[in-house]
Structure 1
Amino acid sequence: MKNLPRLALAPVFAAACVAAFATGAQAQGQAPLKVGLMLPATGTYAALGDMIEKGFKLYVQEQGGKLAGREIQYFKVDDESDPSKATDNVNKLIKRDNVDVLVGTVHSGVALAMAKAAKESNTLLIVPNAGADAITGPMCGANILRSSFSNWQPGYSTGVVAAQKGYKRAMTITWNYAAGQETVKGFAEAFEKGGGKVVKDLTLPFPNVEFQALLTEIAAQKPDVVFAFFAGGGAVKFVKDYDAAGLKKSIPLFGSGFLTDGTLQAQGPSAQGLFTTLHYADSLDIPKNNAFRKSFALAYKQNADVYAVQGYDAAQILGAGLAAVKGDFAKRDAMLAAMRKATVDSPRGKFTLSAAGNPVQDMYLREAKGENNEYRAVAVKALADPARGCKL
């Protein structure tokens, strides 16, 4: 080499520099990891999508803005909470933006379309809210995980509590869509197993909030208890209307936790004293939750809720997988295996993932007090979704 002319050495030197740079880049996690956030930015669920995004980004910020050395680049699409637009919307992220990871969404109907697209394209999908049972049931896949719950879980755990309280006749009320139907089925399964009977299921189209005719029917039937599934703006109006109709004083109202999560301030006095079950309680007194709520409040000048927790844990699950492969996303099989084996140190309490990719988690009985859903008891310990129809 020492006898080569200087110009001949230039390509050799350049090639060596390129190789060194490539090695350095690889050590630093290569190109940014593309994360596609498909969440509601408008409509009934806009506030929920905002909290999920804030929770996800908070965890990334706590890790210095990177996960396992990889910079995170965000791409966003408003899912519009519209299943008819879901396939086109998710393909903006998959085909246009070529994201590595999809995170979404709130509406179960939209999430089902996301799961189908994720399976067809083999894109990693982490679901930070939508509880559609099929996602970790018949549509389950090695590349699909959930950081939230199945619709069955809060419905089932509320049914357990209602039966334990000695109620015998129940009515249910919800929107006529997947989340409502599946949550109500979970409630009925546990309530009837505990000796009760659901005498009538009431539904109305999503996102209709004209409840008066159905409230009149509840008043006429006089059940021992009513179980409701609503969320967001619809939950606010339902709880207020239930109280205004005089039913709160005469017929106990129980709900999936989403009835009062993120809605208590708007519901005001009408929500006070309502019992719900969910995988999170604002006043859960464990170190992780206390630290999380403080960090969230400092970052965003507002209190965290279950949606923020689910977004935070979606980032934790992704981080666990990336850490196992030292940020090398190309080692997807090893990364996915690590994600499924992870024990997530969540603000809700530690949880693991089932073989189908759904959290196995404690479900809490909460009571609405002030602007918090306060912890009262563990309704069901380490409740695992049955994952009916899942074949991996």
Structure 2
Amino acid sequence: MKRLAGFGFAVAMGALASTGAIAQDKVKVGLIVTLSGPSAVLGQQARNGLEMAFKDLGGKVGGKEVELIVVDDELKPDVAVTKVKGLLERDKVDFVVGPIFSNVLGAIAKPVTDSQTFLISPNAGSSALAGKSCNPFFFATSYQNDQVHQISGKVAQDRGYKKVYLLAPNYQAGKDAMAGFKRDFKGEVLEESYVPLNTLDFQSELAKIASMKPDAIYTFMPGGMGVNLVKQYRQAGLTIPVFSAFTVDEATLPAQGEAALGMFAGSNWAPNLDTPQNKKFVDAYVAAHNAVPATYAFQAYDAGLLIDSAVRGVKGDLSNKDAVRAALRKADFTSLRGSFKFSANGFPVQDFYLTKVGKRADGKYETQIVEKVFSNYADPYVKDCALTN
């Protein structure tokens, strides 16, 4: 567990013994993300982004000192539940930010929201929380999972591809990925292949692809899974167009290198998105970490700004949950992505883009915007949510 108090970055267990008066003057934020295993880089990006937001805010949110407590969910739902209960019961956090993966989100959503603590997802966007099971204590600064995959499905349809091969991990986000791609793609799906989460060997899947000869491949393989898939794809000598989400992004590109060049992805953002706030953020992130930020970092940065806007909106009084919720829904901050607001279900209404892997002037790899595919797009599940704006 890592504590960042007031962003002097001094960790002290004595912080647990703060007096009641001091505790009331702080806003406690618990960050729960994956920080170990093949997908650790995703959680590290989110942690970096949230830390940068709080640093840029002067170590305060809404004028009150912020204390950030970071825990690793280990990409294990049972571990995540134990860790998040520690944040709620021992640390008594005011907000929980996280996680990266939807199976972890499914595990922690109930204990967090049942405690009437606000849960802000900087990445995972399960369809289960967007429709009938939407919750007044849940917000996402990312997207609903289907949407980023729907981008590639629409592009594949518009470009006239007739046959595609789909590949994703066997968990909720993987299933949302397939559903999202097929929402606009009307051609033939040759195979819808699911592999165990954290699979690193794709030889059998690549052999199938080579024999089936699809017009295009669509895959969702985040973290280390994406690194291995892309490298093995190139080693197999395949040249079939690859569309994806999170398979080639700034978290995986340093390890994928040249093998990822030219591959497509769908996203709500890219490092070269032309807004003044985004340019400043990307430059600062590269300077601090010698790496290009990914969506995980930018969405976590926005989560920090969202928390600041809410605390500011209630003038530091977090005791009235309805007032805090109203302040969160207002989203009174300037997002790095530009246009942004919340739907009734707590998911953003925003623009989505097709991106392509390219090289920056400094030699680093990044995803770059090819075209805008959806404008001011709300997810398709909001119609089933009983909450109102």
Same fold (TM over 0.5): yes
Q: Which runs of 5+ in 1 are unaligned?
A: 1-24
The Cα shift of 1:390 comes to: 2.7
**1:163-209 superposed Cα distances (whole Å, 9 cap, x missing partner):** 111101111001111111111110011112xxx22221011111112
Amino acid at match of 1:209: L
> Which of residues 380, 385, 388 is equivalent to 1:390?
385
* Aligned match of 2:12: none
Q: Which runs of 5+ in 2 are unaligned?
A: 1-19, 360-364
* Aligned match of 2:323: 334
The Cα shift of 1:131 comes to: 2.2
Equivalents in 1 of 2:34, 2:246: separation in Å?
Answer: 20
Equivalents in 1 of 2:326, 2:358: separation in Å?
Answer: 41
**1:123-173 superposed Cα distances (whole Å, 9 cap, x missing partner):** 111011112221223332111100111110111111111111110111100
Equivalents in 1 of 2:319, 2:248: separation in Å?
Answer: 41
Amino acid at match of 2:312: A
* Aligned match of 1:363: 352
Equivalents in 2 of 1:168, 1:365: separation in Å?
Answer: 19
Equivalents in 2 of 1:141, 1:268: separation in Å?
Answer: 40
> Which of residues 41, 51, 59 is equivalent to 2:45?
51
* Aligned match of 2:8: none
The Cα shift of 1:376 comes to: 1.2
Equivalents in 2 of 1:34, 1:301: separation in Å?
Answer: 29
Q: Is the 8 A contact 1:123 1:143 kept in 2?
A: yes
Q: Is the 8 A contact 2:292 2:366 kept in 1?
A: no
Q: Is the 8 A contact 2:161 2:215 kept in 1?
A: yes
Q: Is the 8 A contact 1:83 1:110 kept in 2?
A: yes
Q: Is the 8 A contact 1:344 1:351 kept in 2?
A: no
Q: 1:239 to 1:258 in 2, by over 3 A?
A: closer
Q: Does 1:171 align with 2:165?
A: yes
Q: 1:300 to 1:246 in 2, by over 3 A?
A: closer
Equivalents in 2 of 1:302, 1:205: separation in Å?
Answer: 29
The Cα shift of 1:348 comes to: 2.0
Q: 1:342 to 1:30 in 2, by over 3 A?
A: same
Amino acid at match of 1:198: V
Q: 1:161 to 1:303 in 2, by over 3 A?
A: same
Equivalents in 2 of 1:297, 1:342: separation in Å?
Answer: 27
Q: Is the 8 A contact 2:167 2:193 kept in 1?
A: yes
* Aligned match of 1:239: 230
The Cα shift of 1:375 comes to: 1.2
Equivalents in 1 of 2:275, 2:117: separation in Å?
Answer: 35
Q: Is the 8 A contact 1:344 1:352 kept in 2?
A: no
> Which of residues 378, 381, 384 is equivalent to 2:375?
381
* Residue pairs, 1:191-206, within 5 angstroms: 191-192=185-186, 196-206=187-197
Amino acid at match of 2:122: P
Q: Is the 8 A contact 1:29 1:69 kept in 2?
A: no
Equivalents in 2 of 1:39, 1:235: separation in Å?
Answer: 18
Equivalents in 2 of 1:207, 1:29: separation in Å?
Answer: 40
Q: Is the 8 A contact 2:354 2:369 kept in 1?
A: yes
Structure with greater Cα Rg: 1
The Cα shift of 1:84 comes to: 2.8
TM-score (norm 2): 0.89
Equivalents in 1 of 2:333, 2:341: separation in Å?
Answer: 6
Amino acid at match of 1:391: A
**1:69-112 superposed Cα distances (whole Å, 9 cap, x missing partner):** 11111222210001232222211111121111111111111111
Q: Is the 8 A contact 1:116 1:139 kept in 2?
A: no
* Aligned match of 2:287: 298
SS for the counterpart of 1:346 is: coil
- State the number of aligned residues: 362
Amino acid at match of 1:386: P
Q: Is the 8 A contact 1:343 1:350 kept in 2?
A: no
SS for the counterpart of 1:259 is: coil
* Aligned match of 1:68: 62
* Aligned match of 1:10: none
Equivalents in 1 of 2:97, 2:264: separation in Å?
Answer: 30
* Aligned match of 1:41: 35
SS for the counterpart of 1:223 is: coil
Q: Does 1:229 align with 2:220?
A: yes
Amino acid at match of 2:184: A
**1:267-325 superposed Cα distances (whole Å, 9 cap, x missing partner):** 12211001111011121122111111122233444322211101101111111111111
* Aligned match of 1:86: 80
Equivalents in 2 of 1:142, 1:360: separation in Å?
Answer: 17
Runs of 4+ in 1 over 6 A off after TM superposition: none
Identical aligned residues as a percent: 37
* Aligned match of 1:9: none
> Which of residues 263, 274, 292 is equivalent to 1:274?
263
**1:199-229 superposed Cα distances (whole Å, 9 cap, x missing partner):** 2101111111221111111111111111000
SS for the counterpart of 2:123 is: coil
Amino acid at match of 2:276: P
* Aligned match of 1:127: 121
Equivalents in 1 of 2:283, 2:190: separation in Å?
Answer: 44
Q: 1:302 to 1:235 in 2, by over 3 A?
A: same
Equivalents in 1 of 2:211, 2:248: separation in Å?
Answer: 23
Amino acid at match of 1:360: V
Q: Is the 8 A contact 1:125 1:144 kept in 2?
A: yes
> Which of residues 231, 246, 251 is equivalent to 1:262?
251
Equivalents in 1 of 2:358, 2:292: separation in Å?
Answer: 15
